[in-house]
Amino acid sequence: MAAGSGGLKDATAVVGIGQTPFAKRLPEDERTLACRAVLAALDDAGIAPGEVDALASYTMEETDEVELAKACGFGDITFFSKVGFGGGGSCATVAHLAAAIVAGQAGVGVAWRSRKRGSGPRPWTDTTVQLPTPAQWTRPYGLLRPADEIAMLTRRYLHEYGATRDHLFNVALACRNRANQNPAAIMYERPLTREMYMTSRWISEPLCLFDNCLETDGALACVVVSAERARDCRRRPVYVHSAAQSLPAQHHGMVNYWNDDPLTGPAWSAARHLWKHSDLTPEDVDVAQIYDAFTPLVLLSLEGYGFCGRGEGGAFTEGGALETGGLLPLNTGGGGLSEAYVHGFNLINEGVRQLRGTSTAQVPDASACLVTAGEGVPTSALLLRS
Amino acid sequence: MLRPVPDADGAPFWEYAAQGELRVQACGDCGELRFPPRPCCPHCQSFASEWRPVSGRGRVWSYVVAHPPLLPDYAAHAPYNVVVVELDEAPRIRLVGNLVAGAGQPLGAFPPENLRIGARVRAVFHDGLPQWVPERS
């Protein structure tokens, strides 16, 4: 085990992934779905539930650690962690487990997310829980939903850089095309055309229906162990090569308009840390799973993680760059836009599948995959390698 | 419609707005303006603060036009605009609001095709809320 000065680099690996079906409406509750995903991930790894001693999820996860550990028959838990800021937390759950294992606090970690967003209420409709900060400055004016907050940033982005809705469409299309190949995706066999995109209804101009992620019920989980332990597991290990969290200086969450430079969000500072602790560069990344609650977040992330220069995210998407065989195949399971929106956890599992060689849209010989969490909020990212 | 739910730091902003005044929190020591209001100065860490009057003139930094699904009170006005305005005195202080033809006009009444980034606007007040109207030059 690489402890101490060795840091996290390749010291741990994801050895198991699991998930439930994804649907607009599933009959089981979030706790049951969580148990199913976690037990599936442990079975995939060939590790007995009694060996689990570390847990990590999101602060918005409603399946309590105590209940999960009891229901699934885990051993004594010696590390547990919850990451804040919604979709910004996805990759950090794996990073926290990796850190705990490297530090000797635990040996077998499970990260998970279970969510009934398809059939449950939209969080933004809860007017009784109006947080005074920062909602007092936005909600009275009708800036109510995450889509409105990101649309505001998008309008400025399009204005400042000359990007167009065609660029946003390129993102939506790449995700949909990959979902069309993935039987687990909600948008399996449901193609998207440019005409459908351009004539769809507005949600918050300049964002239309297809710029928004799905509303999904479902759960996912993965299992993290030391690189040494990983060699004895059932599947080929997928190493956690580098990991980052980021809450940039003077950041304001979804309403980053109050920052000096709102168009350089958390992706930029997460990327600095991620690449600094990596042997790889953006040119070495074979496939990317980029958080796509809204299409413009992908453009911002392409810039932030260094795949192109500032303001060039739109142009980067041209010529099929995000499609299979393109410069940077994107969200190969369909992403949040077309596979399932489970706060980005499906991007982690898809990254693992790519490096195992088992994706439904497999990039030949993929050996490095970037996975990111929500841009626009304090975020996290993983660089996985085979 | 949703009313602001002020926190302790934000309350003075709304008290001044109720009197028809636009004020921004400034550090009581180094003088740096800051928004949203907060307990201490990120530049010099001083806990002293004051509320400085600003002209209420600025430019549209960005805008959206919101369509349903929305909360019922807002859906009744949709599609309506929400703007972010950069203040003349402090371009990095950007206030969220609505662009209206005149104080108290309904949210959806301003024609979306007349919105543009960079448009000059000024603050008016209605029902304790700052709103923005086009600056006639």
Please, what are the averages of pLDDT over each run of 10 residues along chain A (386 residues)? 66 98 97 98 98 97 97 98 96 98 98 92 73 84 95 98 98 98 98 98 98 97 98 95 96 90 96 97 98 98 98 98 98 98 98 98 98 96 98
- The yes-or-no verdict on residue B35 having pLDDT over 80 is yes
- Taking only the tens place, the pLDDT of each residue in A193-210 is 999 999 999 999 999 999
Rounded Cα–Cα distance for residues A166 and A317 (Å): 9
In sequence order, the 6+-apart residues with CB closer than 8 A to the CB of B62 are A152, A153, A155, A156, A159, A257, B83, B84, B117
B94 and B43 part of one domain: no
B123 and B87 part of one domain: yes
- Find the CB nearest B82 among A122, A127, A141: A141
Q: Give the CATH class of A12-119+218-225.
A: alpha beta
- Find the CB nearest B6 among A132, A142, A156: A132
How far are the Cα atoms of A22, A245, A277 from residue A27, in angstroms, in the given order? 11, 35, 43
Total number of domains in chain B = 2
**Which residues are A109's β-sheet partners?**
A54, A224
Q: Strands of A379-385's sheet, edge to edge?
A: A79-83, A54-58, A108-116, A217-226, A12-19, A238-246, A379-385, A368-372, A287-289
Residues of B in contact with A141 (CB under 8 A): 82, 96-98, 129
For chain B, what percent of residues have pLDDT higher than 90? 90
Among A167, A120, A131, residue whose Cα is nearest residue A342:
A120
What single-letter DSSP state applies at residue B132? Answer: E
DSSP labels, B43-77? TT----EEEEE---EEEEEEEEEE-SS--HHHHTT
B28 and B63 part of one domain: no
- Taking only the tens place, the pLDDT of each residue in B5-33 is 999 999 999 999 999 999 999 999 999 99
Rounded Cα–Cα distance for residues B119 and A180 (Å): 43
B9 touches chain A (CB under 8 A): yes
B70 and B114 part of one domain: yes
Rounded Cα–Cα distance for residues A144 and A123 (Å): 10
Rounded Cα–Cα distance for residues A128 and A86 (Å): 19
Q: Residue A4 has what pLDDT?
A: 43
Q: Are residues B7 and A250, on separate chains, in Cβ contact within 8 Å?
A: no
Q: Does residue B39 lie in a domain region?
A: yes
By annotation, the residues of A acting in catalysis are: 291, 341
DSSP labels, A327-365? SS-B-TT-HHHHT--STTHHHHHHHHHHHHT--TTPPTT
Closest-CA distance, B71 to chain A, in angstroms, reads 7
Rounded Cα–Cα distance for residues A21 and A98 (Å): 27
B106 and B123 part of one domain: yes
Q: Do residues A204 and A148 make contact, with C-beta atoms less than 8 angstroms apart?
A: yes
Q: Are residues B64 and A153, on separate chains, in Cβ contact within 8 Å?
A: no
Q: Does residue B82 lie in a domain region?
A: yes
B104 and B123 part of one domain: yes
Q: Residue A6 has what pLDDT?
A: 63
Residues of A in contact with B62 (CB under 8 A): 152-153, 155-156, 159, 257
Mutation pick from A141, A148, A259 vs chain B, by most beta carbons of B within 10 Å, is A141
Q: Does residue B87 lie in a domain region?
A: yes
B45 touches chain A (CB under 8 A): no
Q: Residue A132 has what pLDDT?
A: 61
pTM for the whole structure = 0.96
Q: Do residues A146 and A139 make contact, with C-beta atoms less than 8 angstroms apart?
A: no
Rounded Cα–Cα distance for residues A361 and A353 (Å): 10
Q: Does residue B4 lie in a domain region?
A: no
Q: Residue A130 has what pLDDT?
A: 57
Structure tokens at A120: 């449950």
Q: Does residue B32 lie in a domain region?
A: yes
Q: Does residue B2 lie in a domain region?
A: no
B11 touches chain A (CB under 8 A): no
Q: Do residues A270 and A304 make contact, with C-beta atoms less than 8 angstroms apart?
A: yes
Rounded Cα–Cα distance for residues A318 and A252 (Å): 31
Give the H/E segment covering residue A171: helix A165-179
B51 touches chain A (CB under 8 A): no
B82 and B114 part of one domain: yes
Domain ranges of chain A: 12-119+218-225
Cα Rg, chain B, nearest whole Å: 16
Q: Residue A112 has what pLDDT?
A: 98
What single-letter DSSP state applies at residue A297? Answer: H
B91 touches chain A (CB under 8 A): no
Q: Residue B86 has what pLDDT?
A: 96
Q: Which domain holds residue B74?
A: 57-134
Q: Are residues B64 and A159, on separate chains, in Cβ contact within 8 Å?
A: no
B43 and B18 part of one domain: yes
Q: Residue A233 has what pLDDT?
A: 94
CB contacts < 8 Å between A and B, how many?
108
Chain centroid, CA A32 distance in Å: 22
Identify the contact set of chain A against chain B, taking CB-CB distances under 8 A. 122, 125, 127, 130, 132-145, 148, 151-153, 155-156, 159, 201-207, 250, 252, 255, 257-258, 260
Q: Are residues A127 and B82, on separate chains, in Cβ contact within 8 Å?
A: no
